[in-house]
A = this chain, B = another copy of it.
Amino acid sequence: MSRKTMVRPGGRSARVQASVHAAVRELEAEVGREALTVPLVATRAGVTPSTIYRRWGDLRELLSDVAVERLRPDAAPVDKGSLSSDLVAWAEQFLEEMAAPSGRAYIRDALLGDPDGSNAGQCSAYAAEQIDVVLDRAAGRAETAPDVETVLDHVVAPIMYRILFRPDGLDAAYARGLVAGLVGPADR
């Protein structure tokens, strides 16, 4: 388990995390990420560098934690009235966000400073939670639906694989094609 999973909301530890994350986001915007250093982040966050080293290990692990926070979905998938339409809408948005320069940078950061794999696992868990919402709605409409692992294999995995390894030709039509191959074309 990564260190951050031991953080209790509201405590000093949570306040330190919030101020350090905020310092990273501000400084990235102001001076660019290449200029980030642990002492710079510490000064902005009002903590000592050793607080950061103790908690995160190094800058790369801190950037990984910040990236995962930024990859957290901020809303439930939209309800378009059918499984295929919901999945198409979700997949198009997922691809758009992840394939954008900021999304690629966050995915990269999340993977790079993640020695135990917990941040990468969290990225996948976010996608699985969103898909679960879509599949639960389909079940409520008595639609036949694949399970979440199948959607991860057929929709999420190809998108993430191509972003990382084979980035040409990634567009909304590609996302729609993946969904259509799994559940048929969107009906509205």
List residues of A whose CB falls within 8 A of some B CB. Answer: 108, 111-112, 117, 120-121, 123-124, 152-154, 156-158, 160-162, 164-167, 178
Q: How far is the CB of A164 from chain B (nearest CB, A)?
A: 6
Asked if residues A161 and B165 are in contact (CB atoms below 8 Å), the reply is no
Extra 19 A-B pairs, beta carbons < 8 Å, given A112-B112, A123-B165, A161-B161: A108-B111, A120-B164, A121-B166, A121-B167, A124-B161, A124-B165, A152-B161, A153-B161, A153-B178, A154-B154, A154-B158, A156-B161, A157-B157, A157-B158, A157-B160, A157-B161, A157-B162, A158-B158, A160-B161
Of chain B, the residue at the smallest CB distance from A159 is B157
Interface on chain A toward B: helix, strand, loop, or mixed SS? Answer: helix
Which B residues touch A165, using CB under 8 A? Answer: 120-121, 123-124, 160
Expressed in whole angstroms, the Cα–Cα distance for A153 and B157 within the complex equals 8
Expressed in whole angstroms, the Cα–Cα distance for A124 and B161 within the complex equals 9
16 pairs, CB–CB < 8 Å, chain A vs chain B? A111-B111, A112-B112, A120-B165, A121-B165, A121-B166, A124-B161, A124-B165, A124-B166, A152-B158, A153-B178, A157-B157, A157-B158, A158-B158, A160-B161, A160-B164, A164-B164
Interface centre among A124, A156, A158, A166 (most CB of B within 10 A): A166
